[in-house]
Amino acid sequence: MDRTLHRREWLTLAAASTAALIARPAWAVVAAQAETPLQSFTGPGANPFWNSVGPYVTYPQKSPLLRLTDRPIQLETPRAYFRSAITPNEAFYVRYHLPDIPNAIDLKTWRLELTGNFKRPLQLSFDQLLREFRSVDIAAVNQCSGNSRSYFQPRVPGGQWGNGAMGNAMWTGVRLRDVLARAGIEKGTVQIQFEGLDHGPGPEGKGSHRFIKSWDIHEPILDEAIIAYAMNGEPLPMLNGFPVRLVMPGKFATYWTKHLTHIRALTTPDTNFWMYPAYQIPDTPNGSTTPEELKAGKVKLVPIGHVNMPVRSFIIDPDDSAPVVQGLPTVIRGIAFSGMGGIRKVEVSTDGGQTWKAAKLGRDLGRYSFREFELAWKPELTGLQTLAVRATDTGGHVQPDSGVWNPGGYLWNKIERQQVLVLGA
């Protein structure tokens, strides 16, 4: 952004929208935003930092979140919000690529435009989306491709996210397919392209001033994708894509276009910067390679859309903020998810990964959702103990105990560990 979000603009937004957008005067806390000092060590190894090390900042419609960068805005969700399977809208992480983001959208004049190789190019109003298409709900995890990038070894460039570049919401909207069918895809169309309202300079000299993503028309995800106008039963926060965004269940969030406004039917494949070279992964098992192989030019790269998100799980409680007590009942809790099928099993270890016990799974909100888990634990040994968690999805994929490596810092899903101090009773 080349300017900050001014109170006046947010008031304009609130007035212009037909929906009641602002639940609380977030700007009231902007002035009081707390900047915590940076921790000195952000590296991997015995990394005690579940989140990135940024200061807490407060943006409109948001609770205090961890700031990675301010232009473009990148904010990470603090660990404690993952205690429940649904991530609150005000705590949902934020990621942009370009500095100029919309901060006021007039729903009376806003249109979703379908242009290019369609039989009937369309301009749909927000009202039409709401009234003329069947609405569907789906719980789905939105995770940045670079979530957990700061744990890569050797380190890779890009936003140094901890684990909080993810969130799970109940999305409501209309099927992309229904909207495409209304426009009628003309023969000769090879890809469907999506673009939002943000712009401004991206990486220099790359023609990257618009954030554009495309899919081949035969990709099955286009049948599952939703144009969402509600998130957890409320309008989308501006920073998460108001008034509508794409939801692509199981796919990394780079394809979940925010402020979706342009849908184009293309007759030649999209070669823009954000499709290539950005967001490419090695075409290898688990998308993993080594710096040496990469340097030798041996690695074929493909768009990250070729894969679904690998299975992951996280211990949320206990964290390292307080000790637990020997012999006293404690509950180990967290969440798990997979883009390749629902969660079949979560196992927890209290001895650093030597033995595992099946945790109890929480309510099933659908195969693309976070799934809560818990395991009762009565610590027997005092001193520093290492907990670990490992999930298996319905496709039989299990989390590995070694980290992947690729130049983009994508696809991290190594088994998570948590050290806990057990005090003698």
Toward ligand MTE, which CB reaches closer, 112 or 332? 112
Q: Are strands 324-325 and 416-423 parallel, antiparallel or unpaired?
A: parallel
Phi/psi of residue 19, each to 5°? -95, 150
Toward ligand MTE, which CB reaches closer, 101 or 389? 101
373 binds ligand MTE (CB under 6 A): no
Q: Which residues contact 239 (CB under 8 A, 6 or more apart)?
A: 59, 60, 61, 62, 73, 75, 94, 101
Question: CB 213 → ligand MTE: shortest distance, Å?
Answer: 8
67 binds ligand MTE (CB under 6 A): no
198 binds ligand MTE (CB under 6 A): yes
- Residue 330 partner contact from Mo ion, ligand MTE, none using kind-dependent CB cut-offs of 5 to 8 Å: none
First to last CA, the chain: 54
Question: CB 144 → Mo ion: shortest distance, Å?
Answer: 3
Question: CB 54 → ligand MTE: shortest distance, Å?
Answer: 15
- Nearest-CA neighbor of 5 among 77, 52, 75, 54? 75
CA 154 to mean position of chain CA atoms: 23
- Looking at beta carbons, which residue is closest to ligand MTE? 196
Question: CB 284 → Mo ion: shortest distance, Å?
Answer: 21
Is residue 89 within 8 Å of 19, Cβ to Cβ?
no
Toward Mo ion, which CB reaches closer, 118 or 171? 171
The one-letter amino acid at 211? F
For ligand MTE, the binding residue among 253, 315, 387, 404 (CB under 6 A) is 253
- Residue 17 partner contact from Mo ion, ligand MTE, none using kind-dependent CB cut-offs of 5 to 8 Å: none
Toward Mo ion, which CB reaches closer, 117 or 143? 143
Toward Mo ion, which CB reaches closer, 150 or 254? 254
Other beta carbons within 10 Å of 189: 17
Is residue 108 within 8 Å of 126, Cβ to Cβ?
no
Question: CB 120 → ligand MTE: shortest distance, Å?
Answer: 25
Residues 232-251 binding ligand MTE (CB under 6 A) are 240-241
Q: Which residues contact 187 (CB under 8 A, 6 or more apart)?
A: none
**Binders of ligand MTE: how many residues, by CB under 6 A?**
19
Is residue 124 within 8 Å of 136, Cβ to Cβ?
no
Concatenating the DSSP letter of every residue in 74-114 gives: EEE--GGGGGSSSPPGGG--EE-SSSB------TTT-EEEE
Question: CB 9 → Mo ion: shortest distance, Å?
Answer: 25
Site mask for ligand MTE (CB under 6 A), range 256-275, x = bound: xxxx----------------
Toward Mo ion, which CB reaches closer, 254 or 392? 254
For ligand MTE, the binding residue among 50, 59, 82, 93 (CB under 6 A) is 93
144 binds ligand MTE (CB under 6 A): yes
Toward ligand MTE, which CB reaches closer, 73 or 359? 73
Task: Output b/e per residue, 353-366; b: 16+ Cβ within 10 A.
Answer: beebeebebbeebe
Concatenating the DSSP letter of every residue in 115-172 gives: EESBSS-EEEEHHHHHHHS-EEEEEEEEE-TTTTGGG-SS--SS----S-SEEEEEEE
308 binds ligand MTE (CB under 6 A): no
Interface residue list for ligand MTE (CB under 6 A): 92-97, 142, 144, 196, 198, 211, 240-241, 253-254, 256-259
